[in-house]
């Protein structure tokens, strides 16, 4: 089983809680908001040490921050079944 970070949830919760990308960058120790932007949009991966900070700041339980990712065959099966 493979898991990925629920980037959509992180983005929605950040906006809901009223945090800017620069504030999130500051929380996790990044120099600028563009580095955070790239992580939140999936261009770069969040680092292991950043995840607990995000969970705490955004009040996201760890069991919700990770979602099971679909394999290629599961993606194909979804398309066929639609």
* Cross-strand bridge partners of residue 68: 3
- Specify the pTM: 0.80
| pLDDT tens by residue, 15-70 | 999 999 999 999 999 999 999 999 999 999 999 999 999 999 999 998 999 999 86
User: What residues does each domain of the chain span?
Assistant: 3-68
In this model, does residue 71 exceed pLDDT 60?
no
3-state secondary structure of 6: coil
| pLDDT tens by residue, 1-24 | 788 999 999 999 999 999 999 999
Superfamily of domain 3-68 in CATH is: lambda repressor-like DNA-binding domains (1.10.260.40)
**Max alpha carbon distance in the chain (Å)?**
45
């Amino acid at each position: 089983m493979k898991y990925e970070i629920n980037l959509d949830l992180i983005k929605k919760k950040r906006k809901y809680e009223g945090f800017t990308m620069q504030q999130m960058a500051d929380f996790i120790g990044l120099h600028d908001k563009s580095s955070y932007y790239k992580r939140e949009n999936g261009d770069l991966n969040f680092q292991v040490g950043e995840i607990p900070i995000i969970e705490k700041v955004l009040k996201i339980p760890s069991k919700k921050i990770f979602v099971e990712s679909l394999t290629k065959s599961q993606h194909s099966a979804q398309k066929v079944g639609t």
